[in-house]
Each structure stands twice: as structure tokens, then as C-alpha cells.
Amino acid sequence: MGTISKALSLLNYFSTQRPEIGLTEFTKLAGRDKATVHRHLVELVQNGYLEQDSRSRNYRLGPAILRLANVRERTFPAREAVIPIVDALSSELGELVHVSLLQGDMLSPLYYADKIIHGTRVHFDEAELLPLHATSSGLAILAFGPEELLQHVLSAPMQKFAVKTLSRPSELREEVHEFRQQGFSFSDQGFEDEVCSFAAPVFDHSQRAIGTLAVALPTSRLNLEKQQLVVAALRKGADQVSFVFGGHLPENISRDQIDAA
């Protein structure tokens, strides 16, 4: 990892639960020496990616993040485009639905909706990056994304997040192959105990998998009827998201074959 990547990677530690981070905590999170982390933080502050509270000395996201986010959304209105699709799907299924986009070897949540009609809900942090081997979204990307991405994940250590996280290369490869055949992925307690999820790939104009549409629900609510409803709605929704991104299903993936899976 180069110097620029190391500095920018510090931004990934922020979340809604961790809006401010001090130097000592950054050092522990990054696993680097304090002097190096401090140098990276100073550079990020100087470029507006971070700002430092004068009293607590903690760091928070800076104005450059807002400016770039506005530029991104105005020139490529991804979040605005998927909101009606995700909201409608969440209302239809009564479950949490989200779209995430590929960011390096992780997935970055773009937008989510949860109509909250059940007492038992799935917790979702829209600032948390999603690991590829442990989530249905990640598995969908591995199934339909570039082969080199799959090889990268297979060759790296796979962290155990929950009771059924796929952590062995052989079982991950087998699951990815199955999902590639059926056109969608499924994760049973791979990222969080008592939570399962389904996901389908989203494609851009070059027929490249750039993200996923996913539905997450407590395992206690999953039955055959629910699965069929989710999968049918997910396939339709993923096509709609691809369409608003200017993309479509790749020619080597037969919709008839997927529908019959």
C-alpha cells in the first residue's frame, strides 16, 4: 500500500458511531506507528479531507469530502437515482434494502431503506464498508465481477465475522460458482448472527459489475414463500438499478437461464 493509499485509508474508519477519532485511536485502528499516522492526518487536514477540533484535538471529516460528494452526485446522481427503486422494494417486501458500490476490495453502501414494519429489525450502518467474502453483496460481486478480484480475495486472509462466515478458499470458490449459475447470491449469518441476505449484481454501460442490490432480514422471518418473493423482486430491482446507471445485463448472462434457476 502506497503513502497516498495509507493516508486515504484512514478516512474509512469514520462511521455514524465513530464521527470523531483521536490520534491514539487512529494509531490503534490502523496498526501503524504514531508518527506516521500523525503525518498522514496532517496532510489530510491540509487538503481539507479532515478537520481537527481545537478543544478535543479529535479529527472529523472535512469540507473537501462534502465538496467532492456534491460534485459526484451532481455529475453522476447515483444516490438520487436509486432512492425510488430502493424505497419501493423495501415497501413491497417490508425488509431492509440497500445498494452498495464496489470500492477497491470492499463495498461502500450508497443508500438503504427500511420501512420498519416488524418488531425485529436488521441493523445497518451506511458508513460501514462491506467485506466481499462475508456478505451477500460481496459474494454477488465476486460471482459477476473480474476474476482477478476473486483471486485477490481467495489469496488473502478471510476474517471471521459471524457464525457462518465463509473463511476457507475452497468453500468460498464453491459458493461463488453456484451464485454465478443462479444469478443472485445468498448469505446465511455470514456477516452478522441471526441475519441472512440476498443480493444481485448491478452493471454499468460496459456490462461491468459495479455494485449490488441487496435485501437483508432476520433468519427467523425467512421461509420458502419469503425467499421466492425476495428473489423475484431482487432480480427486477437489480435490472432497474442497472438501467438508471446506464447499464444492462451482460450478453453472456441469459435472463431466461437466471429466471429458471
Q: Mind listing the pLDDT tens digit for each residue in 77-90?
A: 889 999 999 999 99
Residues linked to residue 197 through DSSP beta bridges, in sequence order: 187, 216
Longest CA pairwise span in the chain (Å): 61
- Tell me the pLDDT tens digit for each residue of 164-190: 999 999 999 999 999 999 999 999 999
Contact between 143 and 116 under an 8 Å Cβ cutoff? The reply is no
Q: Which domains does the chain have, with CATH numbers?
A: 3-67 (1.10.10.10), 76-260 (3.30.450.40)
End-to-end CA distance of the chain: 41
Contact between 162 and 134 under an 8 Å Cβ cutoff? The reply is yes
Residue 257 has a pLDDT of: 43
Full-model pTM = 0.81
φ, ψ (nearest 5 deg) of residue 207:
60, 30
Which of 23-32, 109-118, 156-165, 231-240 shows the lowest per-residue confidence on average (mean pLDDT)?
A: 109-118
